[in-house]
Structure 1
Amino acid sequence: MTSIICPHCQGYSTFSVVYVDGNRRVVDQGREVRDGASRCNNPDCMRVIGGLIGQNQRDVIEWWPKQVGGKDFPDVPEHIASTADEAHKCLSIGAHRGAIALARAVVEATAKANDITKGMLDKKIDELAKKGVISEAMKEAAHEIRFAGNEVAHADLAEDPITAEDADEVLQLMDAILTRVYQEPAQVERVRTRRQERRGE
């Protein structure tokens, strides 16, 4: 078994090989390897990574992803925050279409969390702005996320590839919406509460 830093749980863990491809190949320095998959032995993780498996079919020679990067949204409702975090994890491993699809889901969940449940997403976004939950500028950002999500769901992906830059910009818009709707109000409330405590109010 091989011990490495798990890209999922960030713990130093042993990995057990769970799959080995039957085809052998030779990489640098003449090493014979096979494509395969290994599982993290941390009982709180147990996630799988891909990689190159050594000749003895037990050692992980190379692995991917090297790092899975999410993002914390402490003031956002958990079901929305976890979806946004997953979108960032998708981006970090190059799953660009998945990142965009999840960003679209975050916008829809934000509308539902604000009691906007009727109509298609475009109508829900307009209602978010009408209720003052988001600004006109944020409304346009939300629509761009919706458009990108629609492209992922319906476009000919062979002709219209989604780049890392595309996905990153969509997630930046998603982050901005979550900041305006949840994180900035929560931060203002914390500052106000501390001020009132200092003044004995």
Structure 2
Amino acid sequence: MNSATSHPPNTKPTTTSTTQICRSQPHSEVSNEPGAVQLEWTPASAVWVSYEDVPSHIASAASEAHACLSINAYRGAVALARAVVEATAKDKRIVNGTLVAKIDALAEQGHIRPITKEAAHEVRHGGNEVAHGDLAGEPLSEDDAASIVTLMDEILNEVYQGPAKMERLKAQRLARKQANQAGSLTQTAPGPESGSP
């Protein structure tokens, strides 16, 4: 399950704003040096997402992708989403070959469905565009970055979170069944006869 917070894990928020403004002032009140620039960043914190069923090193990178997205650092968000896909493959012991081969192996081994394989490839394409693309070209849009991070979440849900949730529900169902059977056995067990001396 993903849950959003407005600050990095294990810290306290300093603001709850979700917009980023960078103001450059030509002269800083803090410094008397000519030409000094004071930068003010808002928000002071970002939106972090937690993933309770994802290995911590992967969950941390995925959460950081959301944090980047929340402060309009779209290239950072997409690069991290790509890294999350590769780390997921490696966590499943798929360590050889290119990311294309790793994603295909995730599907071949049954970790992801064919549609999720295509989603993983889209995350890969986005990450490659950021890492190897022409930065002077058209910038990555907010919608594209948000879609790529959403696809990353779908992959994590399919590989880790969905199976873990299903196992928890199954264990709870079996525990209820066992408790119900034990309860019905005690209800049907013969008691002392009322006419006994």
Q: TM-score, normalised by structure 1?
A: 0.72
Larger Rg: 2
Matching residue of 2:86: 108
In structure 2, relative to structure 1, the CA distance for the partners of 1:113 and 1:159 (3 Å cut) is same
TM-superposition CA deviations, 1:138-180 (whole Å, max 9, x none): 0000000101111001111221211111110000100001011
Q: TM-score, normalised by structure 2?
A: 0.73
- Which residue type is aligned with residue 140 of structure 2? I
Is the 8 Å Cα contact of residues 125 and 142 (structure 1) preserved in structure 2?
A: yes
Say how many residue pairs are matched. Answer: 158
TM-superposition CA deviations, 1:37-59 (whole Å, max 9, x none): xxxxxxxxxxxxx51xxxxxxxx
In structure 2, relative to structure 1, the CA distance for the partners of 1:23 and 1:135 (3 Å cut) is same
1:166 to 144, 148, 151: 144
| Stretches of 4+ aligned residues off by more than 6 angstroms | none
Is the 8 Å Cα contact of residues 112 and 155 (structure 2) preserved in structure 1?
A: yes
CA deviation after TM superposition for structure 1 residue 70, in Å: 1.3
CA RMSD of aligned residues (A): 2.4
In structure 2, relative to structure 1, the CA distance for the partners of 1:72 and 1:22 (3 Å cut) is closer
Greater percentage in strand: 1
| Unmatched runs of 5 consecutive residues or more in structure 1 | 1-5, 14-20, 27-33, 37-49, 52-62
Greater percentage in helix: 2
User: SS in structure 2 opposite 1:116?
Assistant: coil
| Unmatched runs of 5 consecutive residues or more in structure 2 | 1-5, 16-23, 30-35, 180-197
Is the 8 Å Cα contact of residues 13 and 45 (structure 2) preserved in structure 1?
A: no
CA deviation after TM superposition for structure 1 residue 67, in Å: 4.2
1:133 to 82, 104, 111: 111
CA deviation after TM superposition for structure 1 residue 65, in Å: 1.9
1:71 to 49, 53, 66: 49
Return the alpha-carbon distance in structure 1 between the equivalents of residues 170 and 66 of structure 2. Answer: 31
1:198 to 176, 181, 186: 176
Return the alpha-carbon distance in structure 2 between the equivalents of residues 92 and 185 of structure 1. Answer: 28
